[in-house]
Structure formats: C-alpha cells, structure tokens
Chain A
Amino acid sequence: MTNVGAQGAVGSELAIRVRGLRKSFGDVRALDGVDLDVAPGTVLGLLGPNGAGKTTVVRVMATLLKPDAGDVCVAGLDAVREATALRKQIGLAGQYAAIDENLTGLENLVMVGRLYGMARARATQRGRELLERFELTDAAGRPAKTYSGGMRRRLDLGAALVAKPPVLFLDEPTTGLDPRSRLDVWKTIEELVAEGTTVLLTTQYLDEADRLADTIAVIDQGRVIANGTPDELKDRVGGERLEVRLSTPGEAPVAARALARMSDEAPLVEGDAVTAGVRKRNGVIVEAVRRLDEAGVEVDDITLRRPTLDDVFLALTGRVAEVTEDDENEEAAA
C-alpha cells in the first residue's frame, strides 16, 4: 500500500504514466482522455465492460498503436518517440495465446528470444528456464498444437517473459481458462510482482482484479471513471449488501417491495435472489425477516455481506449512463 501513496508524489519514478490519452477509430472515440499511474512493482487492474477501451490502452502502451494525443510513458520511455527502445522493456501476453502451433514449446521461446536479439544458445537456455518455471518441460519437444488451453496460455506468458521485461502487459490473461489453470496463472503473476515486475492487467473477472491488483482503474466509454485500491472502491459504493434467496422465485417482486424501505436504492432482482444496499449492519437481518414475513414471502437463505467489485462495477457503470447524457446535452448546447 505504501506504493500507492508514493504514486502521486514522484511522477518520474512511475513505471507507467499516462496523461490525456486519446485515440479515435474513424468516428468512434475509443479513448477520450485517459490518465493512469502505476508504481513500479505493483499491479494495475484495468476493468471495464467490453468495448470500453481496455485493449486500446494496452495496444498503445505496447507500441502497437499510435495515440492521437496524450503522453504515454512506460519504464521511463515515451511509447511513441522511443518505441524501439521501449520494446526491449516490455512483455505482452494477449487474449489469444500468440504462439506458433506448429512449433514446439521450446522452438517458440527460442524464436522469441532470438528476435529480442539473443544468440541461439542464450535463447535456448532462457527457453528451458521458462519451460521449467511453467511446468512445461515434459511438453517442451511437442508441437504447441497438442497443448491444452492452459498450457498454451502458460507458454504465451513464458514468451512474454523471455527478456525479463520490467513491465508486463496482460490483456485478459485468464479468459477462457478452467479454474485450475486460472489459479496457476494468478500464482505466476504474483511471483513476478514479488520479483519486482510491474503489471498492467485487463480483465473482465472482478475476483481476478480483487486478488491481483494493488490499484484498479475502471474504464468506460474511453474514460477512467474511478480508480483506487479495491478497498477504496468498495467503500465508495458504501454500506452492506443484504442478499435474500427466496423459496419461490415468483415472489421476488413482492420481496423487493418489502425491502425497499430499508434501502436508499431500488433492490435488485435476479431470479430467486433479491439484493439491497443497506446503511447499517445491526438488526438488519431481523428487520428484513420481519418485513418479508409480514409480506408473506418464504425465505430460503439470507445473508449480509461487504460489497464486492461486482457491486462497485454495477454502481459505477450505472452512473456512467447519466454522465454520458449530460455530455451529449453539453455538446448539443455548444
């Protein structure tokens, strides 16, 4: 957490510093003034719905895309003017395992190593180290097309690490993986961060961000709409979540009405579950049970929990819709 405090203080020591990043594709404004700070050796989780601009941010930082405007500084290098030098400092692993399926695991890593400028012997040695680390040694001599999804993703991650880059971009590194493989990838990322690597991670899984990220930036419609530590973001949503599971799903609207007076916002109905944000903790369950009983609703389960990042996300992206309307009004007025 000390890193987070240091972040704002000394700009030049940041591993990633983005100011006023803009990028349009034709008429579509993909990024509309993004600011980001990532301290060395920390993980920034970039969250956002599909099409929010997460991948565009990563592509600009990884020198794959030129921004229309703004400053992008990674590992002390400008992503546009010093792109060539920057490519030696970064590793990229994308949503798709970017490996050659017809090459073996070792051949893939050796190829990447040599393209980083290593001699064949050095690249082979590094390749073997990485295969060992990712528990792929047994499969080292097999074409990658015989690998499982999890093995491919580990090999892809290995390819991103060949040059031991101080900054790593991971674009949805666990999308489509089974739970076991996800845990493996998480463990690896945690080890890398412990060794001092700075990671920028985009993800659609909020539990992933909660576990890995030191700071989180929520991005929607090309803008950062919130950032902070996971705890800060949860506190911002505020209060506790009362979750009621009903015996009869059909009674959910009745239950929602019964609980409405305990909450500042309208309770959320999802199938047989009703969720309501409540201000205080004491006596909430007793009061809820009483109200539901009076309404004649039969309860299967009732719990009180802290907000999760899902709640944060819902609350934030819900608010964005209003902000956008205001924007449009302003544009119309101008």
Chain B
Amino acid sequence: MSRLVTDTMVVAERNLVRITRAPDLLLAFTVQPVMFVLLFVYVFGGAIIIPQTYDGYAEFLLPGIIVQNIAFGGFVTALGLNEDLHKGLIDRFRSLPMARPAVLAGRTLADVATNTLSVLVLLVTGLIIGFSFDASPLEILAGFGLLLLFGYAFSWVFALLGLIVSSPEAANSLGFIAVFPLTFISSAFVPVESMPAALQWFAEINPFTILVDAMRALWVDQPAGNTVWGAVAWSLAILAVFAPLAVSRYRRAAGH
C-alpha cells in the first residue's frame, strides 16, 4: 500500500512538472474557461430567462460553468495517457516493479491540482463580473470538495478513454461527443423547464444537473432537495465503475 502511495506521488509529480514545461497547456485550464464565462454572460446571458430567485445570470451560470469545466478537466488525462501509450512510456512503466494502479492514480491526482487551479480562476472571474456567494464558509468549502470529487471521478472516465482510443485526436473528439451533450442538456446554462419534454426528462436524471443543482444549493442558497448527497453518490458510483475498468485496461495495455 505504501508503495502505491509513493509511486502515485512520483507519477503525479511528473505530470505537474510537465505542465510547467508546456505552459501552452495552462491556457486550457485558464484562458479558455474564462472565455466561455464571458461569452455566456455577455452574449447569451441577456436572452436567457432565469428563475426570479437568482440575482442575475452570472449567479445562475457560474456554478454550472464550473461544473462543465471540471468535467472537461480530465481531458488532459485522456490525451496524456494516449500519448504515453504511443510513445512507449506505458510499456516502460509496466516493465517497472511499481504498483500497478499508480500510473493512472498519479495522473488523475495531478488533475485534481489543475482542476483546483481552473476552479479558482473561474471563481475570480465570476466575482469580478457580479457573482457573489450566499453561503457559509463551510458550504463554500463543501462546494469545493464536491467539485474536486466529481472532477476526480470523471478523470477516471477519461483515463479509460485515453487507454482505449487509437490516437489523441480520437480521444479528443470522442470525449467531446460524450461530454458536450451531458453538460449542455443539463441545468448548467439554462433552466431545465425551458427545454422540450424529452430533453427535460434527460436533463433531470443527468448527473450534471444533480451536481449543478447541488453547487447552487451550497454556494448561492438555492433549494436543493437531496441533490448534494445525490451528487456525492454519483461521483462515488462513477469512480467505483471506471477506476477498476481503467486499471484493468492498463494491465493489458499494449503500445503501438
């Protein structure tokens, strides 16, 4: 077990050092999400009718767009693992006497660090353009924890994707196809009630809606029902399904 922890930390460190060497990667965590926030608030925001309980579109949007962003945070894992696979690094790791899950655990752990960074960048942007918390410090922290837990679980989905697909390009488009509808057909950007019936049905059972509603409950004091626990349960379920699948795939992974 201690071996797993040490090896995971070594791999996580490697992935974080890489980011400082390829600063253009940082743009994906910082500039791109900020662009989206500005786009939604100032271009689409005026045309979207939100419930009276919100104090402007920025307050409605920010929890939603942070959730979308955290879902996409795992993309680095998919792309990075696929690249490692093709460059023979996975072969090298698998020939070393290291703990088997450590390559994936280290990778997903590094995502937690980059996710933290992008949540902070988005929050600061939000605060500048009119978002404000309506929450106790404990609720704010709980919201952070929930975001990072969900992001961590989702990184394992991307880990599996990165090990299955044939190229980073394929990881990119397949990931996009899977995640984009999930985040948009949810309560993240518009009230679910404004959608056609079929989409509404999907949006209501969509884990993203549950997570976004949970974030709104924690950060801007909106009625949540059971969504906070629902979001925790979803995160743990995603983790419980995809982490073993990804590790099992890694054990059999063949480069080239």
Query: Which A residues lie at the B interface, using CB under 8 A?
Result: 59, 62-65, 84-85, 87-88, 90, 92, 94-100, 102-103, 107, 111-112, 114-117, 143, 159
Determine whether B96 belongs to the interface, using a CB cutoff of 8 Å to chain A.
yes
Complex: A92 Cα to B97 Cα, angstroms: 12
Contact at A99–B89, with CB atoms within 8 Å?
yes
Residues of A within 8 A of B97 (CB): 84-85, 87-88, 115-117
Query: Which B residues lie at the A interface, using CB under 8 A?
Result: 3, 6-7, 10-11, 13-14, 17-18, 21-22, 87-89, 91-98, 102, 254-256
Complex: A323 Cα to B97 Cα, angstroms: 41
Contact at B98–A96, with CB atoms within 8 Å?
no
Residues of B within 8 A of A65 (CB): 254
Q: Closest approach, in angstroms, between the C-beta of A120 and any C-beta of chain B?
A: 9
For this complex, 18 residue pairs linking A to B, each with C-beta atoms less than 8 Å apart, are A59-B91, A62-B91, A92-B95, A95-B88, A96-B88, A97-B88, A98-B88, A98-B89, A100-B18, A102-B18, A107-B14, A111-B10, A111-B13, A111-B14, A112-B92, A115-B97, A117-B97, A117-B98
Contact at A64–B14, with CB atoms within 8 Å?
no
Complex: A103 Cα to B13 Cα, angstroms: 11
Contact at B10–A94, with CB atoms within 8 Å?
no
Residues of A within 8 A of B256 (CB): 96
Interface of A is mostly: loop
Residues of A within 8 A of B98 (CB): 115-117
Residues of A within 8 A of B91 (CB): 59, 62, 64, 92, 94, 98
Complex: A100 Cα to B96 Cα, angstroms: 15
Contact at B87–A98, with CB atoms within 8 Å?
yes
Residues of A within 8 A of B21 (CB): 102-103, 143
Contact at A64–B254, with CB atoms within 8 Å?
yes
- Told that A94-B91, A111-B14, A115-B98 touch, could you supply 17 new A-B pairs with CB distance under 8 A? A62-B95, A63-B95, A64-B254, A85-B97, A87-B96, A94-B88, A96-B87, A96-B88, A97-B88, A100-B89, A103-B17, A107-B17, A111-B10, A117-B3, A117-B98, A143-B21, A159-B92
Complex: A88 Cα to B89 Cα, angstroms: 17
Complex: A280 Cα to B213 Cα, angstroms: 91
Closest 6 CB pairs of A and B: A98-B88, A87-B97, A102-B21, A102-B18, A98-B92, A96-B88
Complex: A95 Cα to B95 Cα, angstroms: 15
Q: Closest approach, in angstroms, between the C-beta of A99 and any C-beta of chain B?
A: 7
Q: Closest approach, in angstroms, between the C-beta of B212 and any C-beta of chain A?
A: 34
Determine which of B11, B14, B92 lies in contact with A92 in the assembled complex, contact meaning CB atoms within 8 Å: B92
Complex: A68 Cα to B98 Cα, angstroms: 24
Q: Closest approach, in angstroms, between the C-beta of B213 and any C-beta of chain A?
A: 39
Complex: A64 Cα to B255 Cα, angstroms: 10
Residues of A within 8 A of B10 (CB): 111, 114-115
Q: Closest approach, in angstroms, between the C-beta of B202 and any C-beta of chain A?
A: 38
Complex: A75 Cα to B87 Cα, angstroms: 27
Contact at B88–A115, with CB atoms within 8 Å?
no
Choose among A65, A92, A107, A114 the residue with the greatest number of B CB atoms under 10 Å from its CB.
A114
Task: Tell me the nearest residue of chain B to A96, going by C-beta.
Answer: B88
Task: Tell me the nearest residue of chain B to A101, going by C-beta.
Answer: B87
Task: Tell me the nearest residue of chain B to A90, going by C-beta.
Answer: B95
Contact at A115–B96, with CB atoms within 8 Å?
yes
Q: Closest approach, in angstroms, between the C-beta of A41 and any C-beta of chain B?
A: 21
Task: Tell me the nearest residue of chain A to B253, going by C-beta.
Answer: A64
Complex: A62 Cα to B89 Cα, angstroms: 14
Residues of A within 8 A of B14 (CB): 100, 103, 107, 111
Q: Closest approach, in angstroms, between the C-beta of B4 and any C-beta of chain A?
A: 12
Contact at A64–B95, with CB atoms within 8 Å?
yes
Complex: A325 Cα to B124 Cα, angstroms: 73
Residues of B within 8 A of A59 (CB): 91, 254
Complex: A98 Cα to B11 Cα, angstroms: 15
Residues of B within 8 A of A99 (CB): 89
Q: Closest approach, in angstroms, between the C-beta of A246 and any C-beta of chain B?
A: 42
Task: Tell me the nearest residue of chain A to B19, going by C-beta.
Answer: A102
Complex: A89 Cα to B14 Cα, angstroms: 24
Complex: A143 Cα to B23 Cα, angstroms: 13
Complex: A95 Cα to B91 Cα, angstroms: 11
Q: Closest approach, in angstroms, between the C-beta of A239 and any C-beta of chain B?
A: 40
Q: Closest approach, in angstroms, between the C-beta of B127 and any C-beta of chain A?
A: 33
Choose among A87, A97, A100, A117 the residue with the greatest number of B CB atoms under 10 Å from its CB.
A100
Residues of B within 8 A of A116 (CB): 96-98
Task: Tell me the nearest residue of chain B to A111, going by C-beta.
Answer: B14
Task: Tell me the nearest residue of chain B to A66, going by C-beta.
Answer: B252
Complex: A87 Cα to B256 Cα, angstroms: 21
Task: Tell me the nearest residue of chain B to A91, going by C-beta.
Answer: B95
Task: Tell me the nearest residue of chain A to B99, going by C-beta.
Answer: A115
Complex: A96 Cα to B92 Cα, angstroms: 11
Complex: A102 Cα to B11 Cα, angstroms: 13
Complex: A84 Cα to B251 Cα, angstroms: 13
Residues of A within 8 A of B18 (CB): 100, 102-103
Residues of B within 8 A of A117 (CB): 3, 6, 97-98
